[in-house]
Every structure is written in C-alpha cells, then in structure tokens.
Amino acid sequence: MCMKCLHCHTSNLTSHRYCGGCGQLLRPLQPCGGDTPNGHKSRREVTTLFSDLSGFTELVTRLGPEGLHGLIQTYFDTVEAIVHRLGGEVDRYLGDAVMAIFGATLAHQDHALRAVRAGLEIQAAMPELSLRFGMPLQCVVGIATGSVVVMQARAGTEAKVSVLGESINLASRIQDLGLPGEVLVSKSVQRIVASKVWAHSRGHHRLKGFVEPMQVWRITGLRDSVSTAPMGFVGRKPEPD
C-alpha cells in the first residue's frame, strides 16, 4: 500500500509520516492511483495542535505491546476529551501522537487561544496519568496557526473535514523541536495570544521544509487562570528569555 503526496504527487509508504519527495506532512486522502475527494472546499484560518507522548521506545520496553496499548488509548481519550471540550476536533492519530484542529468546523474567533488552553490542559493532565500507570509520563505539544484549505474528509474516516496547509507542517515541526513538558507555539500564535499567556522565546530555529528560520515560543501558563500558572519542569533549570 502507498499514499500519493497531495503537494508533489510522490508515492510514499503508508507508514511514512512525511513525504520523501517534498518533506510535507502526509495526508491520508489519496491512495496511489486514486482520486482526491470531490467535496466542498474553503480557505480559512485554523490552528493545529500536535501532542506527542515522550519516551515511546522506553514505554514499549517497560510495558510490552498490550500494556502500551492501554496506556496509549487512555492518553488519546484524555487528549480528545480536552480538545472537544474546547471546541476543537481530533483530525487523526499518528502512532503515539494526536493531531487536533481548532476553527475548521466551528469558526471560533479565538481558535488559537483555545488550542493553547488545550495544550496547557493536556500537560496538566500528565501527572494524573503518571500516577494511574505508576510511571512518569510526559508529552510535547506543538501549535501553529495559518490559512489552510478545509475540505470534506474522505468517506470512512471519523473526521468531518480534512485540512491542507503549511501551518500544519509547521505545528508538527515545532512539536518535534520541543522537550518533554513543553507547549511550543509559532510566532503567529504568540502574537494572537500574547496578552493572555505567559510566554518565553525559544529563539529562531531552522525547521525542515521551511527556508527561513522560524521563531518558536514556549507557553508556560494563562495570565487569567491560577490553575494554569507558569509551569515548572522537573530536573530542569529555567531557560533564559
């Protein structure tokens, strides 16, 4: 089985996350030899969130396949509940990661802030999951916002819509850059939510698929919420601003 990249039309294995031709995040919309879905398309501002469970290889060793399956499902359920409560929807599951979108089906004007809130709540839920499974569990969250093409999802998938755009790839790259316990966002997200959050620049980084270095920000809490005050990181020193 293979999937054709919708950006450059290169054929890729279904196990691949990124296109081997252009480096874009693969979308499971067009099997090789197939057609793209004929549904309504529109362009709008959407915020994308990636949440990836850290230390996957170690977890496989410690828990085995059956134990890991239960943990991953619980993690997915936790993330999905938070995303849905804040008006977003899960687009797909990628191994031990979740991709969620805000502002695609329900056009919330504050979709960027909703995604940031979701990221902070996901991190806040990790200690409880750690206690439940008797081991330290952490995740990394990456968030980006931008103009995307929203289209009807392929029949047979749970998602109502599917999205295509550069900001999706950016959110994934930012998440890859993060350290366990972090919520990292793009400059565009930081500009939108600056008055509502505590944030520190993580500097400019060269990300695969992007020509210019991209500034990344770490969100540590919401200014209007005691429950999501600036978070600390166990065993790590604060980073300079």
Q: What pLDDT was estimated at residue 49?
A: 97
Residue segments in the chain with a per-residue pLDDT below the cut of 70: 1-40, 106-107, 152-162, 225-241
Domain that holds residue 84: 38-222
pLDDT at 32: 45
Please give the tally of structural domains in the chain. 2
**What pLDDT shows up at residue 186?**
96
Do 27 and 63 belong together in one domain? Answer: no
pLDDT (0 to 100) of residue 165:
81
Residues in the chain: 241
pLDDT at 79: 96
Question: Within this chain, do residues 5 and 80 fall inside the same structural domain, yes or no?
Answer: no
User: Would you list the DSSP string of 104-172?
Assistant: SSS--TTHHHHHHHHHHHHHHHHHHHHHHHTS---EEEEEEEEEEEEEEPPTT-S-SEEEE-HHHHHHH
Per-residue model confidence (pLDDT) at position 207: 92
Same domain, 209 and 140: yes
CATH number for the domain spanning 144: value is 3.30.70.1230
Q: What's the confidence (pLDDT) of residue 241?
A: 47
Distances (CA, A) of 121 to 76, 128, 152, 215, 222: 14, 12, 29, 23, 11
Are 61 and 84 contained in the same domain? yes
Element (H, E) at 89: strand 89-94
Residues 29 and 61 in one domain: no
Please tell me whether residues 143 and 165 are part of one structural domain.
Answer: yes
This prediction's pTM: 0.74
